[in-house]
Structure 1
Amino acid sequence: MDPAKLLDILGNENRRKIIQLLANRPCYVSEISGRLGVGPKAIISHLSLLEQAGLIECSVDEQRRKYFNIANNVRLEVSVSPYSYTMALQDINFDREKKRESYAVENNGPATRDESSCFFLKLSERLRELRIKQEELAQMQKQLQAEYTELMDKCLDSIEDIARNPVECELLFELLKNEATAAVLCYNLRLHPSIINSNLMDLAERGFVEYTIKNSQQYWKICETGVENK
C-alpha cells in the first residue's frame, strides 16, 4: 500500500484506537463499540477501511461470531526535517504458525511446567535484548538526522558563496537532496526547461554537477569528484 494512503487512514483517531485495542487481543464489533463508546455502524465502517488496507483481518468463532485481529506486521516511518519529508512502509514477514512449530521443535514437543517456565523466561530475555536494540537504533536515527540537518545548513551557506544566481541556488539545493532529471527539476522549481538546462550546463562547466544515463534518461547530480576550478 502507498504510505501516504495508509497515513491518511491512520489519521482518524478512532481507527488508531481500534488498532491499539486489537494489538492487545482480537475483539468483536460489540466489544470495540463498547470500549470506544462509538456506535457499531461507525465501527464497522472503520473496520472495513482497515481491512481493505490489509492491517486487520476477520475470523469466525465456533458460535459463528465475527472477530477481528491484526493481520500484518508493518512499519510506517515518517521523517520530517527542515530539508526533507519522507515516508516509508515496510512489510515485516511473520508467519505465526511456522513460529509456533519452530518453538515446539526447540522445546522438544510437549513440555513440563518447569520446562515451559524456563522457555518463557528465555523468550522474555530475548524480548528485552530486542527492545534495547530498538532503542539504540532509534537513538542512532536521531543522531543521524541531527548530523544531516547540520550538514545541510553548511551546504546552504556554501551554495550562497558559489552560486551566481538564485536559480543555481535552487538547483544545487534540489540536487543535494537527490539526483533528478531536468524534467523533475522543472516541475519542482516551476521553471521553463530552457532556464533549467542553461543553468545546469553552466554548473557542469564549472565542475559542480554532472549527469549519468539511466533508462535512456539524463539524471543530474552533484559531482562526486569535488570542485574543479576552470
Structure 2
Amino acid sequence: MDSAALLDILGNENRRRILRLLSHKPCYVTEISEYLGVSPKAVIDHLRKLEEAGLVESRTDDQRRKYFHISRNLRLEVDVSPYEFGMKSAYPASANLDVSTCQYLSLDVKYGRDGDEEDASDEPVSEVKAGQIADLAEELNCLEELKSELSLAQRWVHGQITSVLDTMSEAVDGTGENRIRAEILAALAAGAETVPEVSRKADAPEHIVEAHLASMAERSIVERDGDRWALSG
C-alpha cells in the first residue's frame, strides 16, 4: 500500500488502538467496542478501512462469530530532517536472511577529515577545497548505503521477533493466537517482576496480565513469590 495512504489510515487513534489490541489476540466487534469505549458501528467502520488497507482480515468460527486479526507483518519508516522528508513501507525481511551479508553493519564511520570529529562543513565554503568536497560526497554516499543496510537489518530483526513470538505463543497456548502471553513472558525475562511492571512492558491492562499469569502459573510456566512473578526454573 502507498505509504502516504497508510499514514492516513494510522493517523486515527482508535484505529491504532484496534491494531494494538489485535496484536495481542484476534477479537470480535463487541470485544473491540468494549475495549475502545465506542459504538460497534464505529468499530465496524474502522475495521472496514483497515481491511481495505490490507492490515487486518477476518475469519468466522463455528458459532458464526466473526474474528478480526492482523493479516501480515508490515514496517513503516518515516524520515524527517532539515534535509529530507521521506517514508516507506516494507515487509520484514525473511528470518532466514543472512545479515552477515550486510557489509556496512560493522563500519566505523568517521566524521570530518582524517578521523577528526570536527565537521569539515563548518569551515567557510571558500576555504573548503575541492578534494574535501569530494571526500564529503563520498562519505555521504557511504552513509546512505549504511542507512539502507541498517533498514534491512531492522526488518530482519522485526521478522525474527515475530518468529520467536509465534513460536512462544504456540508453545504456551497451543494455538499461537494469544500473543499477549508471549509478551508477558518476554517482560518477565527482561526483568519485570510485579503485575504493574509487566503491564507497562507488555502494554496491557493489569487485570488481563494478572489473569494470564495466574493461568500460566497453573501450568508451571511462571511462578509467584508474594507479589512478584518470575519464569519457572
TM-score of the aligned structures, taking structure 1 as reference length: 0.43
Higher relative contact order (CA 8 A, sep 6+): 2
* Structure with more helix by fraction: 1
TM-score (norm 2): 0.43
